[in-house]
Amino acid sequence: MSSHAVRVHWTASDMPEIRGQHFVVTGGNSGLGYVTVKELARRGATVTLACRDVSKGKAARDEMVAEVGPAEIDVRELDLASLESIRDFAASLSTSPIDCLINNAGVMAPPLSRTKDGFELQFGTNHLGHFALTGHLWSGLMKALKPRVVTLASNAHKPGKIDFDNLDATKGYSAWGAYSQSKLANLLFAFELDRRAKKHGVVNFTSVAAHPGYSATNLSASVAPQVGGAVRRLARRFEVAIAQSAEMGALPQLYAATALEVPSAAYVGPDGWGEWRGYPRLVTPIAAARDEALAARLWTVSEELTGVVFL
């Protein structure tokens, strides 16, 4: 399948047989994660729904079961803004083979905030949190026959740059600049994970990135909370009018997680104009996302910051 090939109108009903496989989905209680968990469970997969608020996760699970019928959905607490929470979550899964980890959760363009470990919130959650989680779950992934890791990126990676001199945002902060940086970091991580796995002789492993295009989800609703009133309501109505649904937005990551023909180190996004909406296909990231020297440097920095070393 070439980088420009199109899988016309692939939907969740086209997923191959995944009954009994174990998927871990971060941020699985809402938005794209909710749809992803629901559709995997509908097809008979065992899904670990990881989220910060267990009560919200259980409520989401009950809604899914009411729609799809009996399902194997295990809700567990995970705060990607806390290295301790990531360690605890991974330890609770230490004996379970993991067929696929879907690094879905994220934060987008908040005011300057920090994780519990002092990292700038977006870089710390979107990239470092998932880097650490993947490392802690590596042994579980290696117990599966054909393990796969899917990391969610964004069209917003395109203007992104990795500012190694200001990863902590102490020299200035741009909410959207930091978001773009974190999404470029997600791609660099996904592709470097593939390279390192191959270098270490890991067989039957697939690392893939995906992005949802422009989807109307609660993530975008959380942007710029300081903007309120009529302006915010109008912006939200405009988004809902032009954006695709979460059901459509989740298709690229479902395709990346399950389709048998997806090659490792691929990038999956919508097939419409500008990759803003549509059905999943293989797409092309900016050249910096494939920069091996940049990816290797980011990997080393990520090890140093998180204390997680694997591959």
- Note whether 126 and 185 are within 8 A (CB): yes
- Read off the pLDDT of residues 87-131 as tens digits, 9 standing for 90 and up: 999 999 978 899 999 999 999 999 999 999 999 999 999 999 999
Burial state string for 5-23 with b = 16 or more CB within 10 A and e = fewer than 16:
eebeebebeebeebeebbb
Q: Does 83 have pLDDT greater than 60?
A: yes
Angle made by CA atoms 208, 209, 212, in degrees to the nearest 5: 135
3 pLDDT band (50/70/90 cuts)? Answer: very low
| Sequence-separated (6 or more) residues with CB below 8 Å from residue 174 | none
Residue 237 confidence (pLDDT) = 66
Q: Running DSSP on this structure, what letter comes out for residue 288?
A: G
Cα distance between residue 142 and residue 252, in whole Å: 24
227 pLDDT band (50/70/90 cuts)? Answer: very low
pTM comes to 0.92
- Read off the pLDDT of residues 252-264 as tens digits, 9 standing for 90 and up: 999 999 999 999 9
Dihedral sign from CA coordinates of 262, 282, 139, 40: negative
- Read off the pLDDT of residues 158-214 as tens digits, 9 standing for 90 and up: 999 999 999 999 999 999 999 999 999 999 999 999 999 999 999 999 999 999 999
Structure tokens at 260: 């048998």
Cα distance between residue 266 and residue 255, in whole Å: 11
Structural domain spans, the chain: 18-213+250-306
Residue 229 confidence (pLDDT) = 53
DSSP of 10-21 = --GGG----TT-
Dihedral sign from CA coordinates of 114, 103, 188, 178: negative
Cα distance between residue 173 and residue 165, in whole Å: 12
Instruction: Report the mean per-residue pLDDT for the chain.
Output: 92
Residue 243 confidence (pLDDT) = 81
Residue 296 confidence (pLDDT) = 98
Pick the more confident residue, 220 or 138.
138
Q: Does 236 have pLDDT greater than 70?
A: no
Residue 95 confidence (pLDDT) = 83
Q: Does 1 have pLDDT greater than 90?
A: no
Rg (C-alpha) for the chain, rounded Å, is 18
Q: Which of 180, 186, 194, 155 is nearest to 80 (CA)?
A: 186
Average pLDDT over residues 294-301: 98
Residue 96 confidence (pLDDT) = 82
* Fold of the CATH domain 18-213+250-306: Rossmann fold (3.40.50)
Q: Could you tell me where the DSSP H helices lie in the chain?
A: 31-42, 54-68, 83-92, 121-122, 130-136, 138-141, 175-199, 218-221, 229-242, 246-249, 251-258, 292-306
Q: Which of 210, 211, 281, 277 is nearest to 244 (CA)?
A: 277
235 pLDDT band (50/70/90 cuts)? Answer: low
Q: Does 310 have pLDDT greater than 60?
A: yes
Residue with the two structure tokens 């009903």: 13
Cα distance between residue 153 and residue 202, in whole Å: 24
Q: Which of 186, 181, 143, 136 is nearest to 160 (CA)?
A: 181
Alpha carbon separation from 241 to 102, 143, 159, 161 (Å, rounded)? 28, 44, 25, 31
Q: Does 152 have pLDDT greater than 50?
A: yes
Residues labelled catalytic: 179
Structure tokens at 258: 């399950």
Cα distance between residue 271 and residue 217, in whole Å: 19
Cα distance between residue 66 and residue 153, in whole Å: 30
Structure tokens at 174: 């741009």
